[in-house]
Amino acid sequence: MSTSCIIIAGGSSQRMGSDKRCLRLWGERGPTLLEHMVAQAARFSDDVVVALNDPEAWNGLAARLVRDEAAGGGPLAGLAAGLAASRYEYALALACDMPLVQDALIDALLAYPRPYDALAPLRPDDGARAPRNRLAAEPLLAVYRHTCLPAIRDCLRRGARALVDPLEMVDARYLAPEVWRPYDPQGLSFINVNRPEDVARVQMILASRRGG
């Protein structure tokens, strides 16, 4: 079943101190972080949408660009814009700052039986001990149906900005860590690049996987 892919690319990078979308974790001749995520998404979908607040700065990107649906709405506004623009009934949402997302885990998410409104894995850090509900979910490594759009927009109108808020308003399913770990034993997919120390950690992981 064809699935769109939405990359939530924002643009604030407040904790990083610079635009993390421009990071070149694979060396100066390698892609930027955002280019890498677009290339990864293209392996799974022929409809890649990037939602960000400055699309004019990324005109050469190999994807369709859409502006966040509400100014100051954060990632939820990006998700709304991306979902509205996606061509297929279901869309995989990925954060642009998760460079170690494993293809096998994406395959598992896309293969999960439908229909549902949303499907999200529970994070490895708290998914095992927290109640298995939206609060432990990773909403930017998740699949959304177009039917989620009214709930997302309702949250934006009410000023609710947490990505997990719409999940309690729809038919959401959750993958427990013991379900997804066979596809990502180390939980690499859940590593975000938010701070300079995160960059160093990811670069060490990438170097080790290259053999030094």
Give the tens place of pLDDT for each residue, 111-167. Answer: 999 999 999 999 987 544 444 555 689 999 999 999 999 999 999 999 988 999 999
Strand, coil or helix: 118: strand
Q: Does domain 4-210 have CATH number 3.90.550.10?
A: yes
CA angle (34 as vertex; 33, 36 as ends), nearest 5: 65
Contact assessment for residue 118 and residue 42, using Cβ atoms and an 8 Å cutoff? no
How high is the pLDDT of residue 126?
53
Q: What is the mean pLDDT of residues 87-108?
A: 97
**DSSP H/E element including 158:** helix 149-158
| Beta-bridge partner residues of 121 | 175
Contact assessment for residue 96 and residue 48, using Cβ atoms and an 8 Å cutoff? no
Answer left, alpha or beta for residue 3, where phi above 0 means left and psi between -120 and 50 means alpha: beta
3-62 pLDDT per residue, tens: 999 999 986 656 666 899 999 999 989 999 999 999 999 999 999 999 999 999 999 999
As given in the structure block, the two tokens for residue 21 are 């979308």
Residue with the two structure tokens 């670069």: 203
Q: What is the Cα–Cα distance from 140 to 208, expressed in whole angstroms? A: 26
pTM of the model: 0.92
Strand, coil or helix: 19: coil
Q: From the CB of residue 210, how many other CB atoms can be counted at a distance below 10 Å?
A: 8
How high is the pLDDT of residue 17?
65
Sheet holding 4-10, edge to edge: 64-67, 48-52, 4-10, 90-95, 141-145, 118-121, 172-175
Of the chain, the percentage scoring pLDDT greater than 70 comes to 91
